[in-house]
Chain A
C-alpha cells in the first residue's frame, strides 16, 4: 500500500507511512537479530538449566563456527562446507564439555565458571593465532544473502529466513524435550541433578546431548548472523554471546520459550535504540535492561523461583 492511497486530505497517513518506511528497516533488523540471539540463547539457557553454569565459551564457539565456514567455503562446495561446519562446531562444543567441564563436576560452581572463562580465553587466542588477527571476509551464502524488498525497505533474505527458521527449530526442540526419552532425561536432570543420577539416568550422556544441541543451534545462528555482516574477527562473537545470555536471563534462565521471547525483545529494543540515533548506547541498553529485570524480577519473565535450602 503506497502513501497515495490515503489521498491528499489524509495528511496524517502520509506521515504515518513516512514513519513506517523510516523505521521498518530497524524493525526488520531487530526481528532478524532477535532470532539469531534466540538461537545462541537456547544454548546458554539449556546448559544453565542442567549444570547451573554460565557457559562463557558459548559466544566463542559461535565465532569458531563462523571461521569454520570462512575456511571451508574457500576450498569446498557449499553442500559440503555447510554440514561440515555444523559437525565441527558440534564436535567442539562436545569436546569443550568433556575436557573442561566434566573433570570439575564435583567442584564448586565458581570453579566451573572460571574454567568456562579460561576456555573462552583459549579459544579467542587460538582464533587470533590461526587467523593472524586479521578480519576475514564471510562468504556470501546463496539464497539467504539475496536482496529482497519489503514495502519500502530493502534487506537481505536472511532477515525473513531467520525468524521462520528460529521458530521451526524451537518447536522441534520443544517437541524433542517434551516427547522423547532423552528430553525426559534432560528435564529430570535440570529438576534434580542428584536424584536423577540415582534413578539411573546417564548424566554425562544427557549433558553431552545438551551441549551438542546448543552448539548445533549456535552454528546455525552463526551462519545467519554473519551473513548480515561482512567480516569475522576473533572477538566478534563475544558481544552477541553476552547479549544472548542477557536474553536468556531476561526470559528466565532455564526456560526455552523465555529465552526466545527475551532474545526477540532485546533484538528489537536494541534496534529501536539505534533508530533513535543512540547507536553507541545500544550495547549499554541491553545491560541496563538486564540489571533492571534482575532487580525487579530476578528469575526473569518465565523462570521458576528457586527455593533456598539451608
Chain B
C-alpha cells in the first residue's frame, strides 16, 4: 500500500513538474510565436490584420498581460477565417494563454503528491491530520490564482476576495482582543491608520515623493523601503503605539476601556491630519503612488500567514491564559496569571496585526487618508466579529467574506431603481442596500446572538462526522 501511494505521488509530481516546465517556457514565447505566425501567414496579411497584430505587440511591450491576452484573442478570433497555424504554433498558443492556470494546477498536484508521501511515510500518524488541510490550503491558493487569471485582476469577484482577505485579518485581530481575551476595545481603526500610514510613508518610491508631498517640499523622508519590510514596520509601529496606550488604558474595566480606546483612535486621527506633521504625514492630503500589490495572492498570503500565527498563539499557553482572563478575571488572577502582562500582550499583538491589515488596506485602496479611519470603521469590524461569532477565528474569516461580498456586490441591485414591466419596485434607490444590510445585521445581533460559528471553529473532521452521522441515522430508518 505504501509503495503504491509513493508511486502515485511520484507520477503526479513528474506530471506536475513537466507541465510547469512547459508552461513556464511558454510564458515568454509570444514574440517569437508572433513571428512564426507571420511567416506562415504572409500571403493573407492586410492592413487591418497588421494593426490588430501591432496592438498585441504594443501591449506585450507594456508588460500588461491582461491587455495582451485581450488583444491576442481579438486578433485570433477576428481573423480566424484567414489564420491557419501548424500544430506546433497552436500548442504553443494554448500554453501561452493558459500558463497561469496550468502552473497553479500543477502546484496543486504537487501539494497532493506531498500530502500522499507524508501520509505514506507517517508511522506515528502524527502528520495525518495535517495532510488534508495542506491539500485544501493549496487548492484554495491555486484556485484564487486560476480565478484571477480567468476573471481578470479587477473583476468584482477578485475585489471582494482581496478586501475580504484583508478584513478577515483585521477581524481576527479584533477577535483576539474582544472574543478571546474579553477586552472590549474599540481602537482598531486607530491602529489600522497607524499601519496604513507607516506603510504608505515608507514605501513611496523616492522619485514619486516630490509629487506626493507637493505642499511640503517633497517631504522629510527621502528613502523608500521594500514593501514586505514596510508592512512589518507598519505592524511594529501599531504595536509600539498599542504598548504606550496600553500602559494606562488597560487598567480600566469593560465600557471604560471601550470608550478610552475609541477616544484614542480619534486622537490618532487628529494627530495624523495635523499640518505641523505635514512633511511626514502629508497633513490632511492623500498619500498615494506607493507600491501596491498586483495579484490577490499577495494579501491572501500575508493574511493567511498572520491568521495562522494568531491561531497558533491562541492554542498556546498564552492563548489559554487569555481565555481564562475572559471567562473570569478574578479566578485567572488567583491561578497565578499576571493579568496586566497578558492583557498588554494581547493588546500589542492584536494591534500589530491590525497595523499589518491597515498596510494591506492601504495597498488595496492605492491611496490613504486619515479622515477615512473613523469609529464607524471600527464598528463595522466589530459587527463582522459578532456575526462570525465572538471567539471563533474561522467565524470571523467567513463573516468577513460574507460582509464584504454582501455590502459590495450581492446587495448592489438594491441600490438601482428597478422596473418590472411598467411597475416600479418601491424603495429601491441609492442607499437602500446599506439600510437592508444593517437591518440584517441587527437581526443577527438580536436573534442569532452567537453568530455563524458561536465560539466553535470550522472543523473538517466534525463536518465529515456530521454527514456520516446523518447518513447512519438515515440508513437506520
Contact = CB atoms under 8 A, between A and B. Distances in A.
Interface of A: 48, 52, 54, 99-100, 103-104, 107, 109-111, 113-115, 117-122, 124-126, 128-129, 132-133, 235, 238, 242, 245-246, 249, 280-281, 283-284, 286-288, 290-291, 294-295, 298, 308, 310
Interface of B: 178, 184, 248-249, 251-256, 258-260, 262-264, 266-267, 269-271, 273-275, 330, 375-376, 379-380, 382-383, 386, 390, 429-432, 434-435, 437-439, 441-442, 445-446, 449
B248 A295 contact: yes
Nearest to B439: A122
Contacts of A119: 442
27 contacts: A52-B255, A54-B255, A99-B446, A103-B446, A104-B446, A113-B258, A114-B386, A115-B442, A118-B438, A124-B376, A125-B435, A125-B437, A126-B435, A128-B434, A129-B429, A129-B435, A242-B266, A245-B259, A280-B274, A283-B266, A284-B269, A284-B270, A286-B263, A287-B264, A291-B263, A295-B248, A295-B251
Contact of A129 (B253, B270, B275, B432): B432
A287 B263 CA distance: 5
B375 A129 contact: no
Nearest to B249: A291
Contacts of A310: 330
A200 to B, nearest CB: 28
A291 B264 contact: yes
A121 B449 contact: no
Most buried by A among B258, B267, B445: B445
Given A125-B435, A287-B264, A294 B270 contact: no
B442 A294 contact: no
A287 B264 CA distance: 7
A281 B270 contact: yes
Nearest to A130: B431
Contacts of A242: 262-263, 266, 375
A246 B259 CA distance: 8
B435 to A, nearest CB: 5
B19 to A, nearest CB: 49
A121 B441 contact: yes
Contacts of B431: 125, 128-129, 132-133
B438 A121 contact: yes
Contacts of B270: 280-281, 283-284
A48 B258 CA distance: 14
A133 B116 CA distance: 57
A133 B446 CA distance: 27
A119 B432 CA distance: 16
Nearest to A286: B263
A60 B184 CA distance: 22
A246 B254 CA distance: 15
A107 B255 contact: no
A114 B382 contact: yes
B254 A110 contact: yes
Nearest to B446: A103
Given A125-B437, A242-B266, A281-B274, A118 B442 contact: yes
Nearest to A53: B255
Q: Which of B259, B380, B442 has the most CB of A within 10 A?
A: B259
